[in-house]
């Protein structure tokens, strides 16, 4: 029997922009066990509800994660709105949808880049991030912030997108989609990429479901589960269908994200087409009293904000369960059997967002 050795992976590691630590138990070059340890960026922001009023906590919620910041704010706001029975105006819902999908676009492009970098495909990394900049330009133009937007608030949104800008965005979508398809084509059809990814880190449909996988990690294994199907914000009007793959390997997880980019572009196009006129927000009166599990589909999967108010300005509890935390058990099951050199690719394939996970 080969000797077992333990290789520490992280917390500071070249392919990971964020710290996560794995103890990899190896037999020769093959992983037999992986034990994650987190906590390097635990801040404890759930306790900030004691110091921030419920309307101010949106700013903290945005900064749970700098990549899906808009979605965290959206999830939080929808939770509060549900508790306080606030009906958000339609235009605000559509604007929220557009910004959500822009966030998803920039997050997926970011991930594709990092993933290419993890495979050692530097050129593709640069190309993905180049495309991502055009999404960030739109976000900056419409919200004022590149990565932290600050436009979502309890009761609606803070800014409007003018008709002219909407037109411009709509016109820009076609060439952008073409470029994305060119990029996606490399990820989906290139032989080197396929050779590197197919059959790697496989997780079956039943296993993925039983382990509580969410988002693209679950959908790549054939679990058709996407919270946008519940029709929050404006998704109910836009005819949304989840993207599903069945292979359950790294290639499938990559394919789901590439196809979600195309889907997001389509959703933005439809949202612009159907954009209703009207006010942007409603006045928020009173304080939240009650509880709600607010759920939103982030680029990485389903996020939950459990909010509980006691009728005062400060919530009594906010509990945030982010998609990466739910995807850690599947990751632990994916790694055994992989070669040491493939570990970064497998870890990246769940799109880990550690600052979300640890809050």
Partner 1 sequence: MAFLKRSPWILHYDASSCNGCDIEVLACLTPLYDVERFGIINTGNPKHADILMITGGINEQNREVVRNIYEQMPEPKVVVAIGVCAATGGIFRECYNIVGGVDKVIPVDVYVPGCAARPEMIIDGVVTALSILEEKRAKMSGAAQMKDDARHAEQAGEST
Partner 2 sequence: MTVREEQTIIDVALENLTREVERVHADGYRLVQIGCTDLGGSYEVNYSFDKGYQFKNLRLTIGPEAEVPSISGIYWGAFVYENEMHDLFGIPVTGINIDFKGTFIKTVEKYPFSVTRKGGDSCRNA
- Residues 197 and 254: beta-carbon distance below 8 Å: yes
Closest CA to 186 of 266, 121, 107, 243: 121
Stretch that binds partner 2, among 108-116, 168-176, 208-216, 261-269 (CB under 8 A): 208-216
Q: How far is the CB of 18 from partner 1 (least distance, A)?
A: 5
Residues 6+ apart with CB under 8 A from 71: 100, 103, 296, 298, 299, 303
Partner from partner 2, partner 1, none contacting 230, C-beta within 5 to 8 A by type:
partner 2
What's the closest the beta carbon of residue 4 comes to partner 2, in angstroms?
A: 18
Q: What mask of x and - would describe binding to partner 2 in positions 13 to 52, judged by CB under 8 A? A: ----------------------x-xxx--x-x-xx-----
List binders of partner 2 among 299-318 (CB under 8 A): 302, 304, 306, 308, 316-317
Assess contact for 16 and 113: CB atoms under 8 A: no
Looking at the DSSP assignment, which residues form a beta bridge with residue 37?
21
Residue window 160-199: x/- pattern of binding to partner 1, with contact defined by CB under 8 A: ----------------------------------------
The minimum distance between CB 304 and partner 2, in angstroms, equals: 6
187/194 Cα distance (integer angstroms): 8
User: Minimum CB separation from partner 1 for residue 47, in Å?
Assistant: 6
Q: Which is nearer to partner 2, 171 or 319 (CB)?
A: 319
Per-residue DSSP letter, 301: E
**For the range 167-170, what are the long-range contacts, defined as Cβ-Cβ under 8 Å and sequence gap of 24 or more?**
169/138, 169/268, 169/272, 170/269, 170/272, 170/273
Q: Which of 262, 267, 257 is nearest to 228 (CA)?
A: 267
Report the residue number, 17 or 231, with the smaller CB distance to partner 2: 231
Taking CB under 8 A as the rule, does residue 355 contact partner 1? yes
């Amino acid at each position: 029997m080969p000797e077992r050795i333990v290789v520490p992976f992280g917390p500071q590691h070249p392919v990971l922009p964020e710290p996560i630590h794995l103890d990899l138990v190896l037999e020769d070059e093959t992983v037999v066990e992986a034990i994650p340890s987190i906590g390097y960026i635990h801040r404890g922001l759930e306790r900030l509800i004691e110091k921030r009023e419920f309307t101010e906590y949106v700013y903290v919620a945005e900064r749970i994660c700098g990549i899906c910041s808009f979605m965290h704010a959206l999830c939080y706001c929808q939770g509060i709105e549900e508790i306080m029975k606030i009906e958000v105006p339609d235009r605000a819902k559509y604007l929220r949808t557009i910004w959500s999908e822009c966030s998803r676009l920039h997050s997926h492009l970011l991930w594709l880049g990092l993933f290419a970098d993890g495979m050692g495909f530097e050129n593709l990394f640069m190309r993905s991030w180049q495309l991502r900049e055009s999404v960030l330009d739109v976000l900056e133009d419409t919200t004022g912030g590149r990565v932290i937007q600050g436009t979502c608030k309890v009761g609606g949104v803070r800014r409007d997108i003018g008709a002219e800008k909407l037109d411009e965005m709509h016109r820009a979508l076609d060439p952008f989609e073409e470029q994305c398809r060119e990029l996606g084509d490399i990820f989906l059809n290139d032989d080197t990429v396929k050779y590197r990814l197919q059959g790697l880190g496989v997780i079956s449909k039943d296993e993925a479901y039983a382990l509580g996988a969410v988002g693209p990690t679950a959908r790549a294994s054939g679990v058709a589960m996407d919270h946008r199907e519940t029709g929050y914000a404006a998704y109910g009007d836009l005819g949304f269908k989840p993207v599903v793959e069945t292979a359950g390997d790294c290639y499938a997880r990559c394919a789901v994200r590439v196809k979600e980019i195309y889907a997001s572009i389509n959703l933005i196009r439809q949202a612009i087409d159907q954009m209703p006129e009207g006010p942007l927000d409603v006045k928020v009166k009173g304080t939240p009293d009650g509880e709600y599990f607010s759920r939103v589909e982030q680029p990485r999967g389903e996020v939950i904000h459990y909010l509980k108010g006691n009728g005062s300005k400060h919530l009594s509890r906010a509990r945030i369960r982010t998609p990466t935390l739910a995807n850690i058990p599947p990751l632990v099951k994916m790694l055994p059997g992989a070669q040491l050199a493939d570990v970064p690719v497998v870890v990246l394939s769940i799109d880990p967002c550690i600052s979300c996970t640890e809050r």
